[in-house]
Amino acid sequence: MKNTVILGALSVVALSAGMASADTLADVKARGELNCGVNVGLTGFGAPDANGNYQGFDVALCKAVAAAVLGDASKVKYLPTTGETRFTALASGEVDVLIRNSTWSFQRDTDLKFDFVAVNYYDGQGFMVKKDLGVSSAKELDGATVCIQTGTTTELNLADFFKANNMSYTPVNVADDSEGQRQYLAGACDVYTTDASGLAASRATLPDADNHIILPEIISKEPLGPLVRHGDNNWGDIIRWTYFALVAAEEYGVTSANVADMATSTNNPEIKRLLGAEGELGKMLGLDNEWAKRAIAASGNYGEIFEANIGSATPIKLARGLNALWTQGGLQYAPPFR
Amino acid sequence: MAFVQDAPKDSFRLGMLIYDTRYRAITIQVIVLTLFLLFLSWLVNNTIENLAAKDRSFDFGFLWQRAGYDINQTLISYTNDSTHFRAALVGLLNTLLAATVGCIVATILGVLVGVLRLSKNWLVGRMMTVYVEVLRNVPVLLWILLTMTILSETTPAPSDFRVTEAMIAAGEAPKATMMLWDTVAITNRGMNVPAPLVEHGLPRLELLGMSVNSNVLAFLVVLGGSLWVNSRIRGHARRVQEATGVRPVTWWKSLAVIVLPTVALLMALGFHLDIPTLTRFNFKGGTEILHSFTALTLALALYTSAFIAEIVRAGIMAISRGQSEAAFALGLRPGRTMSLVILPQALRVIIPPLISQYLNLTKNTSLAIAVSYMDLRGTLGGITLNQTGKELECMLLMMAIYLTLSLIISSVMNAFNRAVALKER
Amino acid sequence: MTSVIPFVRNEMLPEKEPPLRERGVVHWMRQNLFSGPLNTVLTLLGLAVLLWVASHVLPWLMHSVWNASSLTECRDIITQRFGEGATGACWAMVKERWHQYLYGFYPMDLYWRPNLAFVLMFVAIAPVLYTSLPRKMLWFTAIYPALTFWLLWGGSVWTPVVAMLGFVILALIFRALVGKLGVPVSAGIGVVVAALWWMFAQGPVSDALQAAIPLSITTVDSDQFGGFLLSIVIGVTAISASLPMGILLALGRKSDMLIVRTLSVGFIEFIRGVPLITLLFTASLLLQYFLPPGSNFDIILRVIILVTLFAAAYIAEVIRGGLAALPRGQYEAADALGLDYWQAQRLIIMPQALKISIPGIVSSFIGLFKDTTLVAFVGLQDPLKGITTIVRADINWKGIYWEPYIFAGAIFFIICFGMSRYSMWLERKLKTDHR
């Protein structure tokens, strides 16, 4: 009987401790830790290293939020989620925010009762094929075998695309990115389809990257971004504006290196407001005025995070593309801080 | 254990509900039932409250919506315009297919290994021991993953089969060729085998809302008829043998009765084989047996066969040596001793644990998730669940289906067990 | 009379060696490998299979690389050493990541805690398995769960202590009431009071004690558990927690009380009828619906609870087998002695039935331990798939395939094979003193 009841007791203790109330900010502060739902198997976006430290593009946003809310970028508890468990983990309150390359779609935003608060990566579904197949367009893929990750929007996009173009295909459903890459490499499928960023990451790590091409067609819009539960708008605002602070920081040239100096030395009133040297923006979020400063200091501005994790200096070598700042022809645009 | 106790016959008091063993049983049962019902209503109440709090509904309406995704192995017709319900049905059939094939292969392998393990051949005996120990002491998940990897890593890609103009000019052979007179192609995606096709087939029948292939039906009817006639012929032969001691020669009659009508039917239908041919990306035509299916079934069969081998070995060893000695004394050869004397008796010991192995294998088909074989969990509990977000409905439905499946299998097998069990006097 | 002196040998001839074909290796081979056409064919087939496997696996194993920082480097080294086109195993990955396979993300400087808990586990099990050991050691077994919980998760020592106090309360109430009210009723009251203690007194009391006498070690969160540590924690907790439940269920299934029997059979058949993976998905997806709104706790705990229920159904069947194996005379003798139901169970039936069931329990544990790999599908870091996915997401090791599976598979094999051999030995031992 002993262990059973110990577990029962533990669960009761945990129950009382883990109540997810409507005020996520208060919960996070009381807990002293941000529960961040992440992907553990996507190179460059989220994966733990040999020491168990999580790293990646999505992970950096977790750190920024933790820095803004709790004052310490390391106070994050990363909860690994799979394609199947991620939304449940968020809905049940197991995680405070889900930052796991999830596509913003109508149904998820409305029917599943989530709020996508921002788009930290504009992606689209693409195709990668071997060069010797002699294919130059996705329209030539009639009859091909396609590797595709299950539990994602890509399945539906793929079915729609082939239907719209009156083509047939054989799906090979794979569980995760590494499995998809292996199957594709082994030749179990002619085409590997997933988000273009993932394709680029996969291609970059192939032993013979030059023998593979990513087809020009992008068949879907995949705005990937952090999401929170419906009904806690203040918490959503915090995630959203932490993210915008990172984007704005890039726009204004605030980096993790100069953020401390900038706060005092700058004359630009917008930067002053952003970094809390002027105005009371932090208070309006329910945080202190230094929040954005800490968020930027955590792992840099949007551009720094991009370059450090998935940019051209990394093996993944993603171009900024749509994710360049709006001033440079991209879509990343932060509303004014006032 | 029941206790017969002569309690004093006094009038009923409330305390007797606890103190009197006659009433205590009833009291306990009432309490247990009340607690159970309370627990159940607590669960239901929580669920209702949770659904309300999340602003979600509990209905199975989504099953009739368009699924929108494709499945790579469908035993019944299915497109991405079909409903989620049909997708679940496709998944269920795939589960059943994997389970059935897996059980058959596992039984054959298991019996073989179990018998060989008792072989006097030292090398074979040791190899079988290694086989059993290695297979059953490592998680089945690993076997599934490994089988899948081996299948897809060691086989050629479809493009390796291609013969280009340049290769003909240079006199080179393609890297891979088809097997069995160019009818079977094993690629790293699957096995393409010829499929039976008919030229001028009968129209499809609509039975109970299901479309039934009447060609198959006709074939089965004719074959069944032939077999019935054949059994009559054999019965007649046996009667003659019992009466006269001489068994008339019947093999040519049997052959004619079984073969001729079916061949005639197939000729009439214009039967031919659809042989896979290489197209731009893949082999088309014929039937493709996906590696995910092969890997899952094979790995489950191998894993389960190790357990079955142990069951078979234990069953054989449970038969007393006297039985085989008696058989030898009667002049039976070892092979016949095994098949006529030992196995029939061992079967009685073997069947009950065998049932639970079949059940395990069936439940383990849910590990199809590891190789992305689209079974019930892959469709209903995987993509449908993800696309609709109806986790409660999908999971409950899935559990109910698996439960029904298990109960059906165990009741059928138990009935069989009762039929073969030793009738004790 | 011819005097033929008959030749009588008066000393023994020295023993001749048997002919060459009847001795030594040759004889052994003729006897064991080539004793007939069928056996010869089997032997040759077996040899062919062995050779085929060896020819495929050995070169790969021979070309092993132990020191490299990435898969590309590994491949370069192999090409350099063994020529173009050679393939080889890259064990450098294992060298770099072995600790994640064993401990997941458990803080490295705290590895001694799981190690200690692991060693103590044997001390705790010993008195159960070897009756010759001093009975006092059972007290250690009793506190072991709390001790391990504290060692693994850390935190205040008072939490497990106060939780254990609940059991003390349960035991005291039970002892006080059992004479008057019988076993089920007094146990029920005890459980209710203990539950109240855990629900309402646990938090405040342990907080107060912690405030008065602060005694705590570094807390380790559940999400840092992974690899074999996670497998063993789930497996061992589930099996030991499911034992009492399994016993009750087995007794319930054999009970004369219709409702108790129906409920037990229903529970057992339900759990045994659905795949473990659906129960795991229940833990991760559905529990949030079944528990009071807003409640939410650790996924590992949820998984352990569901796996415990799963194991309980199987253990119940094992124990039912043990009960069925007892001769009827034992029950009748207990009745004849005038023992009541619970006395008979405690003194006569259970000690024997449990003893018979031990091998079955061990094999259930082996099965369960292997099945813990399935937790990967709900996002936990099991050693086989979870950790491997993480390793392969590392840009250095992207594309590594066989090595992690072989490494994890080998450890599983060693543990499971060892346990199964042990259980076979135990079975033999128990058999002899049973007949």
* Residue contact A113–B55, C-beta within 8 A: yes
8 A C-beta contact, residue B103 and residue B111 = no
Q: What is the mean pLDDT of residues C284-290?
A: 84
Please write the tens of the pLDDT for every residue from B407-416. 998 888 788 8
| Gap between the Cα atoms of C159 and C136, Å rounded | 25
User: Which of helix, strand or coil describes residue B172?
Assistant: coil
Residues of A in Cβ contact (< 8 Å) with C191: 5
Closest by CA position to A145, among listed C127, B189, C402: B189
Residues of B in Cβ contact (< 8 Å) with C30: none
Distance from CA of C360 to the nearest CA of B (A): 13
Q: Which residues pair with A147 in a beta bridge?
A: A172, A192
Distance from CA of C229 to the nearest CA of A (A): 15
pLDDT at A283 over 50: yes
CB contact B49 to A (< 8 Å): no
Which residue among B56, B372, B391 sits closest to A175, beta carbon to beta carbon? B372
Please write the tens of the pLDDT for every residue from C344-391. 888 888 888 888 888 888 888 898 999 999 988 888 888 888 888 888
| Gap between the Cα atoms of C307 and C373, Å rounded | 12
Q: What token pair was written down for B74?
A: 């469908």
Percentage with pLDDT > 70 across chain C:
97
* Residue contact B189–A156, C-beta within 8 A: no
Q: Which chains touch B (3 or more CB pairs under 8 A)?
A: A, C
pLDDT at A21 over 80: no
Q: What token pair was written down for A88?
A: 């449940």
Q: Which comes out higher in pLDDT, residue C273 or C342?
A: C273
Which residue among B54, B188, B281 sits closest to A188, beta carbon to beta carbon? B188
CB contact B292 to A (< 8 Å): yes
CB contact A22 to C (< 8 Å): no
Q: What token pair was written down for C235?
A: 């497996």
Q: Counting beta carbons within 10 angstroms of the beta carbon of residue B396, is it exposed (0 to 12), middle (13 to 18) or buried (19 or more)?
A: middle
pLDDT band at C22 (very low <50, low <70, confident <90, very high): confident
| Gap between the Cα atoms of A4 and A17, Å rounded | 20
* Residue contact C399–A182, C-beta within 8 A: yes
Please write the tens of the pLDDT for every residue from B122-181. 888 888 888 899 998 999 999 998 888 888 777 877 777 777 777 777 777 777 777 667
Q: What token pair was written down for B389?
A: 């977000």
8 A C-beta contact, residue C316 and residue A12 = no
Residues of A in Cβ contact (< 8 Å) with B374: 173
* Residue contact C278–B366, C-beta within 8 A: yes
From residue C220, alpha-carbon distances to A59, A130, B299, C283 in Å are: 21, 46, 37, 22
Please write the tens of the pLDDT for every residue from B39-49. 999 989 888 88
| Gap between the Cα atoms of C274 and C281, Å rounded | 12
Tell me which DSSP letter residue B182 carries. Answer: T
What local confidence, expressed as pLDDT, does residue C2 receive? 64
Q: Which of A236-245, B23-32, C301-310 has the lowest mean pLDDT?
A: B23-32
Please write the tens of the pLDDT for every residue from C117-132. 999 988 888 887 777 7
What local confidence, expressed as pLDDT, does residue B361 receive? 92
Helices C227-253 and C350-371 sit at what angle, rounded to 10 degrees?
A: 140
CB contact C377 to B (< 8 Å): yes
Q: What is the mean pLDDT of residues B320-347?
A: 85
pLDDT at B2 over 70: no
Q: What token pair was written down for C101?
A: 């396979």
State the ipTM, two decimals. Answer: 0.83
8 A C-beta contact, residue B143 and residue B158 = no
Q: What is the mean pLDDT of residues C164-170?
A: 86
Residue of A nearest to B79 (CA): A159
* Residue contact A188–B383, C-beta within 8 A: no
pLDDT at A12 over 50: no
Rg of chain A, C-alpha, whole Å: 21
Distance from CA of A252 to the nearest CA of B (A): 40
Interface of A with C in 262-321 (CB under 8 A): 314-316
What local confidence, expressed as pLDDT, does residue B423 receive? 63
Residue of C nearest to A310 (CA): C395
* Residue contact C284–A178, C-beta within 8 A: no
* Residue contact B72–A173, C-beta within 8 A: yes
Q: What is the mean pLDDT of residues B16-32?
A: 75
What local confidence, expressed as pLDDT, does residue B6 receive? 55
Residues of C in Cβ contact (< 8 Å) with A47: 390, 393-394
Q: Rounded mean pLDDT of chain B?
A: 82
Residues of B in Cβ contact (< 8 Å) with C178: none
* Residue contact C257–B122, C-beta within 8 A: no
Residue of A nearest to B148 (CA): A183
Distance from CA of C432 to the nearest CA of A (A): 31
Which residue among C240, C281, C393 sits closest to A42, beta carbon to beta carbon? C393
Residues of A in Cβ contact (< 8 Å) with B39: none
CB pairs under 8 A between A and C: 162
Residues of A in Cβ contact (< 8 Å) with B389: 87, 107-108, 111-112
8 A C-beta contact, residue A32 and residue A75 = yes
Q: What token pair was written down for A138?
A: 């996705």
Enumerate the H helices of C213-326 as residue ranges: 227-253, 258-273, 276-281, 287-290, 299-325
Q: What is the mean pLDDT of residues B249-277?
A: 79
Which residue among C241, C294, C305 sits closest to A19, beta carbon to beta carbon? C294
pLDDT at A46 over 90: no
pLDDT band at C10 (very low <50, low <70, confident <90, very high): confident
| Binding-site residues on chain A for chain B (CB distance < 8 A) | 83-84, 87-88, 91, 107-108, 111-113, 132-133, 141-145, 150-152, 155-156, 158-160, 163, 169-175, 179, 182-183, 186-190, 230
Distance from CA of A174 to the nearest CA of B (A): 5
8 A C-beta contact, residue B359 and residue B377 = no
pLDDT at C177 over 90: no
Q: What token pair was written down for B308?
A: 């079955």
| Gap between the Cα atoms of C317 and C111, Å rounded | 37
Please write the tens of the pLDDT for every residue from B205-260. 666 656 667 777 788 888 888 889 888 888 888 888 888 878 777 788 888 888 88
CB contact B70 to C (< 8 Å): no
Q: Which residues pair with A246 in a beta bridge?
A: none
pLDDT at A8 over 60: no
